[in-house]
Chains A and B, each alone.
Chain A
Amino acid sequence: DIQMTQSPSSLPASVGDTVTISCRASQNINNYLGWYQLKPGKAPRFLIHGASTLQTGVPSRFSGSGSGTDFSLTISSLQPEDFATYFCQQSYSTPYTFGQGTKLEIK
């Protein structure tokens, strides 16, 4: 199975900050990488596919980059609604695997 390692696990930040979350795959996954946002009591939200392509309706302050084994999600000018947990996920091969998550918290 492909292991996905996310860092940091917790990220304190303030409204207006720019933050970056990292995700590393245990082997080359090309750009078959997705990002998801989870909030308690709500259905998860699909943000990005192909490492960098935003889904319709996702604000442009979200951006993704990377290829091969190293990826990142950057959120610019944090808004109150962005405080949530973020997961990366590889779609290169089954079993599909996720990172352990990064909880973006209000500082």
Chain B
Amino acid sequence: QEQLVQSGAEVKKTGASVKVSCRASGHTYIHWVRQAPGQGLEWMGIVNPSGGTAYSEKFQDRVAMTRDTSTSTVYMELTSLRSEDTALYYCTAAAHLDDAEYFQHWGQGTLVTVSS
């Protein structure tokens, strides 16, 4: 069973960057999904077992997802933070089921608060 343990809450100033970590016990496809207060879930991107990435166009210019295989840790860095980036950020391990990809295991979430 995939275990995902995320880093703790962060408070950042507008314009700063944040880097959230996710320790994943297996070598799997890791996605990042966020949920802003009172909003739905939003897919941000994926990092595959070899470190390849694909990002949502919305975040393409501001996000970087990386993988450190020596520590089984995946990172999501978001730059040029604005107040709208205040959200709960989840890492999630994908399962490939019946020709499609679903979010099978989830981390506990990392709250990122952005203020001026």
Contact = CB atoms under 8 A, between A and B. Distances in A.
Contacts, number: 66
Q: Chain B contact residues: over half helix, strand or loop, or mixed?
A: strand
A97 interface: yes
Given A97-B43, A98-B42, A92 B102 contact: no
B106 A101 contact: no
Contacts of A24: none
A98 B100 contact: no
Interface string B92-116: 1001011111111111110000000
Contacts of A87: 40-41
Nearest to B41: A98
A96 B43 contact: yes
User: Which interface class (under 10, 10 to 19, 20 to 34, 35 or more) fits B?
Assistant: 20 to 34
A43 B43 contact: no
A49 B42 contact: no
Interface of B: 4, 31, 39-43, 54, 56-58, 90, 92, 95, 97-109
25 contacts: A32-B99, A34-B102, A36-B41, A36-B103, A42-B108, A43-B106, A43-B109, A46-B95, A46-B103, A46-B106, A49-B97, A49-B102, A50-B97, A50-B98, A53-B97, A87-B41, A89-B102, A89-B103, A92-B100, A95-B43, A98-B40, A98-B41, A98-B42, A98-B43, A100-B40
